Amino acid sequence: MAERGVAARRRGLASRPGGYTGADEPERCSALARLPERGRVLARGFVENIRILPSAQAPVFTAGIVDAPAPPGGRRSQVARIVLVWNGQRRVPGIEAGTRLLFEGMIARVDGVPTIYNPRYEILPEDDHDVEDQV
């Protein structure tokens, strides 16, 4: 009997270079500049900004993530960033500018910017260096 469905397609993609690596195996990225074009990733960073839409629009909460917080006086050059989007949320508890996150999800390019919709996340303490070894 021939294999059908998602499992068969996944096995076929896994044999191709750059193909499917498995939904439970995210690619670990130590720097946002090294994010892949697509696929599941596990990375960490700091919330640089948040965006909350007005109550007249559909609820969406957005956070811009960078590798390190901006120095006093602001940034002088472009840095790699990723956008995390929570659909159906007006606020996400604990997510505010300066929060350090460990996050996981599927990357999609939206207007050329890497974006993850409804990511899994963990809020990290600022002085925890043990987590850096995990990513």
pLDDT digits (tens, 9 = 90+) for 115-132: 999 999 999 997 755 545
Beta bridge partners of 55: none
Model pTM score: 0.75
How sure is the predictor about 17, in pLDDT bands with cuts at 50, 70 and 90? very low
| Closest C-alpha among 126, 121, 47, 134 to residue 82 | 47
Chain-centroid distance, C-alpha 60: 16
Instruction: Please check the confidence at residue 106 and state whether its pLDDT lies above 60.
Output: yes
Containing 130, the helix (H) or strand (E) segment is helix 130-134
Residues 26-64 pLDDT 10s = 899 889 999 998 899 999 999 999 998 898 999 999 999
